[in-house]
Amino acid sequence: MRLETLISAEDIQAKIQHLAEQIDASIPRSDQPIILLGILKGSVHFLSDISRALWALGRDCHLEFMQVSSWHGETTSSGVVQIKKDLDSSIEGRDVVIIEDILDTGRTLSHLRELLGTRRPNSLQICALLSKPDARIVNVECEYIGFPIPNEFVVGYGLDFDERYRNLQYIAVFHQDD
Ligand code: IMP
Ligand code: MG
């Protein structure tokens, strides 16, 4: 097993600052805080850092979480996305930004966008730290993408292999056979 650094901790932090500025610019200020909706578990560090970058820009945020699981491999063609933990509060009339670690096939986010859209938010956007354009099966609109990356398995900064490596401060390509 070998970890090959793909995106350094410094580059991640610089990108987060930039993404927070874009989010701040695109959502008009109102008396209702932005809802940052983190998709567990991979988005934890990203959600945490982006929420604090928004605070530094003078934006108040509410943090909410959902957990979903998607099956790959044999069930690829069915593309089942199961909600393991739903929101516990209403998003009606609110500005919501889904915070996700990575946009891969697109199944998870396309399902979530459709589901959450029916709950009548004032606005609904998606912010993914990473995207693998070559892995896309379902087309999904994504307002903010941190880094497009090659179609390789990556770990770190929230992303796991069998629950490990989520606590790396950087993103690495995971070479299992080396
Ligand atoms: P999608 O529905 O195929 O876009 O799947 C997105 C989910 O698959 C992400 O939230 C991750 O949990 C997982 N995933 C996709 N690619 C990777 C990767 O390279 N490393 C770790 N997890 C990944
Ligand atoms: Mg995930």
Ligand 1 site, residue 156, Cβ cutoff 6 A: no
Q: Is 104 in the active site?
A: yes
H helix intervals, the chain: 9-26, 44-56, 107-117
Which ligand 1 atom lies nearest to the CA of residue 106? 4
Strands (E), 71-169: 81-85, 95-103, 123-131, 144-148, 154-155
Write down the pLDDT at residue 178. Answer: 83
Cβ(71) – ligand 1 distance below 6 Å:
no
Please tell me whether the overall predicted TM-score, pTM, comes out greater than 0.85 for this model: yes
Return d(Cα 4, Cα 2) in angstroms, integer.
Answer: 6
99 C-alpha to ligand 2 centroid (Å): 10
Confirm or reject: Cβ of 103 under 6 Å from ligand 1.
yes
Sheet strand arrangement including 81-85? 81-85, 61-70, 34-40, 95-103, 123-131, 144-148
Give the chain's length. 178
Residue of 49, 95, 101, 104 marked active site: 104
Q: What is the H or E stretch that residue 32 is in?
A: none
Task: Collect the ranges in the chain with pLDDT lower than 50.
Answer: 74-77
